[in-house]
């Protein structure tokens, strides 16, 4: 089994800093992380966890059509997102709430999508939104957009100039289910062929709704892209330091012109696929307990306590998370439906006779109903 | 500007139009299978990679979803990709990217993201081809909001419409009638004859209106010529744009003739022709002297090429429908 790499891990389950052999080459990428950086990782994870719980509650109370929880995947998301540079461009799937938060998205914009008041939620071209593209619900299709975007970055000459403030890497997030999609394989083909500056960040949360990862692949997922000529690494996805260090290295490599890489983060979806799902139908209590014991936030809290973080710090973060969730709740309840003109506006960028005609008809029809009332 | 006219075939006119677009805007890229050294299987991109380089005229891996999916990403980065799908029947691996992503990204982002992507598709029959190389799948795309769908019938329109499609900030499905790639026709390089989404009267007449697009237009003109010799005056309209449809010239013609026959190579069920027939019946009911009739490919898979001439509407089938319309 010489070709099977062990899983990169820095933090053991109890939060002890104990890099394994596979982690050694990534150790330099933790250099320069300050205490404050570590605390920020925790803050990001704790706020996302609290926000995510609040959103599930809001959905249960009828305030959202659907919510896809991120519970359990916070370390994979926060570590990788914090490893990206501001100029990097992120193509998420639809569960990357922690990445969204780190990149500066107003998380209420995610709520807008799930509440049915907006299709995309945020403007990905607004610099305030951290080059975080829109969620994509057709599984795996955005992997090709990421690769095409990365080709454009190459054409623009923004790879391997040596300017770390300017060179751009592109990162696509997707899950274990998505690896079965043709578009993900085609993204590997185009990426390898063009040697695009990009990282494929695969969160293997072990479930595609109710179907286990063993149905998607008989080979460990991180081995598959190697057949496409893409270097890969498997990491403990519930170890935020492993996620940070490996992503930093591979994003740096991508920006430096060393081509694409894939990181498989082994993690677990503690909650349901979405609020419409019932995981008790397919997941055993033992499986759940196994992964709850590997909770990424508890593990990192233990690590921080070892570094000297006090109760006061954790209390302060909890308060901040509660404040964020209270704000989200408040602003969610204020979100009314969009104007009916949203049906027709922006279907096309340029004037279109059918849009104009049908909007005029709907306006006249609605007006006639009001006259009759 | 004085007319600068040359007689060239559609394939060369498209080549000239693509060359002009590449020269005018460095963000324009061509992507597709075998479009580089080979110049495309129909030679539409011949010489362009040599002239503009492998970065702007890109031989892609053999994967249609990959071509369109990466074109979407390139458009997000500010490029204007022009994708070639090698044959009509090979567009379906890209169907998801075209209909769920390309068509919807502008509305999904409330207009923040534009998708100036052109997808060129050689389509239609008459060339004795094997399966998947003779289809007319335009209705699938006309059915999808967010896409624009056009088809030139002449070298002049080919030269101009491809440039107008590339200039559009919306995605355009550009259907090229492959049986018309080779016949020569005049191209006026000095000015475009019509706006991209306009339908044109290509022969005036008074008794019956017939409308079609792409390769069908040549058949309609031939039918009109035969009818004229028999004393029937047919007005022929070249649809040019399948989405949106430019109804004003069609309705004006029907108000004059009172009769309409809609013709297409595509299967008739749930087709562009069905849509036009229904709309004209709604909007010109009191002008109609007969039902709107359709002449289409049969609602079957495309047959073996040795009998394709019995599947594809020809001038006689068009005239048979004209006779039926006149008999009311």
Domain ranges for chain B, please list them. 9-188, 200-327
Q: How confident is the model at residue A239 (pLDDT cuts 50, 70, 90)?
A: very high
Asked if the C-beta of A360 comes within 8 angstroms of chain B's C-beta atoms, the answer is: no
Q: How confident is the model at residue A372 (pLDDT cuts 50, 70, 90)?
A: low
Which chain B positions have a beta carbon within 8 Å of A156's beta carbon?
A: 77
> Does residue B106 carry a pLDDT above 70?
yes
- Asked, colleague to colleague, whether B9-188 and B200-327 share their fold, the answer is yes
Residue of B nearest to A347 (CA): B107
Asked if the C-beta of A352 comes within 8 angstroms of chain B's C-beta atoms, the answer is: yes
The CATH architecture annotation of domain B200-327 reads: 3-Layer(aba) Sandwich (3.40)
pLDDT in tens, B161-196: 999 999 999 999 999 999 999 999 999 999 998 999
| pLDDT at residue number A5 | 56
Q: For B298, phi and psi rounded to 5 degrees?
A: -70, 160
Q: What average pLDDT score do residues A254-270 get?
A: 98
| pLDDT at residue number B193 | 86
Q: Is B40 left (phi over 0), alpha (psi -120 to 50) or beta?
A: left
State the average pLDDT for chain B: 97
Give the separation between CA B216 and CA B261, rounded to whole angstroms. 12
Do A94 and A137 meet the contact criterion of CB atoms below 8 Å apart? yes
pLDDT in tens, A291-308: 999 999 999 999 999 999
Q: In sequence order, what are the residues at sequence separation of 6 or more whose Cβ sits closer than 8 angstroms to the Cβ of residue B328?
A: B259, B289, B290, B291
| pLDDT at residue number A371 | 77
Residue of A nearest to B114 (CA): A349
> Does residue B327 carry a pLDDT above 90?
yes
The reply to whether residue B61 touches residue A190, judged by beta carbons under 8 angstroms, is yes
**Helices A182-194 and A141-155: crossing angle, nearest 10°?**
20
Measured between CA atoms, how close is A26 to chain B, in angstroms? 31
Q: How confident is the model at residue A184 (pLDDT cuts 50, 70, 90)?
A: very high
ipTM exceeds 0.85, yes or no: yes
Measured between CA atoms, how close is B244 to chain A, in angstroms? 7
Q: For residue A254, how many C-alpha atoms fall within 13 Å in the half-sphere facing its CB?
A: 36
Q: How confident is the model at residue A2 (pLDDT cuts 50, 70, 90)?
A: very low
Residue of B nearest to A186 (CA): B66
- Catalytic positions of B are 133
Q: List the CATH code of the domain at B9-188.
A: 3.40.50.970
A55 secondary structure, DSSP code: H
> Does residue B4 carry a pLDDT above 90?
no
Q: Which residues of B sit within 8 Å Cβ distance of A?
A: 29, 55, 60-61, 63, 65-66, 68-79, 93, 96-97, 100-101, 104, 106-115, 145-146, 148, 168-170, 244
Measured between CA atoms, how close is A28 to chain B, in angstroms? 33
């Amino acid at each position: 089994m010489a070709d099977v790499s062990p899983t990169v891990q820095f933090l053991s389950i109890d939060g002890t800093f104990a890099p394994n052999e596979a982690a050694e080459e990534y150790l330099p990428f933790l250099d320069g992380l300050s205490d404050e950086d570590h605390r920020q990782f925790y803050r990001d994870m704790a706020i996302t966890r609290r926000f995510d719980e609040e959103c599930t509650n809001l959905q249960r109370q009828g305030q959202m059509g659907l919510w896809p929880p991120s519970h359990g995947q916070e370390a994979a998301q926060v570590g990788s997102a914090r490893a990206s540079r501001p100029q990097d461009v992120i193509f998420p799937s639809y569960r990357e709430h922690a990445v969204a938060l780190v990149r500066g998205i107003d998380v209420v914009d995610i709520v807008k999508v799930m509440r049915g008041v907006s299709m995309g939620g945020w403007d990905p071209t607004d610099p305030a939104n951290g080059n975080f593209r829109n969620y994509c619900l057709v599984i795996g299709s955005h992997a090709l957009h990421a690769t095409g975007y990365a080709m454009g970055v190459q054409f623009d000459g923004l790879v391997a100039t040596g300017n770390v403030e300017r060179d751009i890497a592109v990162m696509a997030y997707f899950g274990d289910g998505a690896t079965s999609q043709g578009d993900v394989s085609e993204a590997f083909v185009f990426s390898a062929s063009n040697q695009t500056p990009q990282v494929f960040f695969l969160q293997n949360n072990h479930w595609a709704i109710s179907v286990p990862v063993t149905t998607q692949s008989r080979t460990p997922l991180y081995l598959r892209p190697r057949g496409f000529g893409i270097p890969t690494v498997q990491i403990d996805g519930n170890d935020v330091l492993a996620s940070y260090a490996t992503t930093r290295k591979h994003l740096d490599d991508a920006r430096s012109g060393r081509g694409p890489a894939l990181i498989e983060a082994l993690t677990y979806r503690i909650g349901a696929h979405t609020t419409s799902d019932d995981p008790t139908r397919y997941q055993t209590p033992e499986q759940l307990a196994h992964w709850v014991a590997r909770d990424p936030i508890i593990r990192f809290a233990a690590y921080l306590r070892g570094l000297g973080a006090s109760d006061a710090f954790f209390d302060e973060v909890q308060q901040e998370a509660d404040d964020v969730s209270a704000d989200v709740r408040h602003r969610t309840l204020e979100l009314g439906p969009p104007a009916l003109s949203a049906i027709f506006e922006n279907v096309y960028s340029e004037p279109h006779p059918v849009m104009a005609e049908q909007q005029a008809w709907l306006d006249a029809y609605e007006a006639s109903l009001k006259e009759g009332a | 500007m004085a007319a600068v006219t040359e007689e060239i075939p559609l394939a060369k006119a498209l080549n000239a139009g693509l060359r002009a677009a590449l020269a005018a805007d460095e963000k324009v890229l061509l992507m597709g299978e075998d479009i580089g050294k080979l110049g495309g299987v129909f030679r539409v991109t011949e010489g362009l990679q040599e002239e503009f380089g492998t970065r702007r005229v890109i031989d892609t891996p053999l994967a249609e979803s990959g071509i369109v999916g990466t074109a979407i990403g390139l458009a997000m980065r500010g490029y204007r990709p022009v994708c070639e799908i090698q044959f009509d029947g090979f567009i379906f691996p890209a169907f998801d990217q075209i209909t769920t992503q390309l068509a919807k990204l502008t509305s999904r982002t409330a207009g923040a993201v534009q998708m100036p992507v052109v997808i060129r598709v050689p389509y239609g029959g008459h060339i004795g081809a094997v399966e998947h190389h003779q289809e007319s799948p335009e209705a699938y795309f006309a059915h999808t909001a967010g896409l624009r769908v056009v088809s030139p019938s002449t070298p002049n329109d080919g030269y101009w419409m491809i440039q107008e499609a590339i200039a559009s900030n919306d995605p355009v499905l550009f259907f090229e009638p492959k049986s018309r790639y080779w016949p020569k026709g005049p191209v006026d390089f000095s000015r475009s004859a019509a706006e991209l989404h306009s339908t044109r009267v290509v022969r005036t007449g008074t008794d019956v209106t017939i409308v079609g697009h792409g390769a069908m237009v040549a058949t309609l003109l031939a039918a009109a010529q035969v009818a004229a010799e028999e004393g029937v005056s047919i007005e022929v309209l070249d649809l040019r744009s399948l989405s949106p449809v430019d109804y004003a010239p069609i309705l004006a013609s029907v108000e004059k003739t009172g009769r309409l026959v809609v013709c297409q190579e595509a299967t008739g069920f749930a087709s562009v022709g069905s849509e036009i027939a229904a709309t004209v019946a709604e909007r010109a009911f009191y002008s109609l002297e007969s039902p709107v009739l359709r002449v289409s490919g049969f609602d079957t898979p495309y047959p073996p090429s040795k009998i394709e001439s019995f599947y594809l509407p020809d001038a006689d089938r068009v005239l048979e429908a004209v006779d039926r319309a006149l008999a009311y």
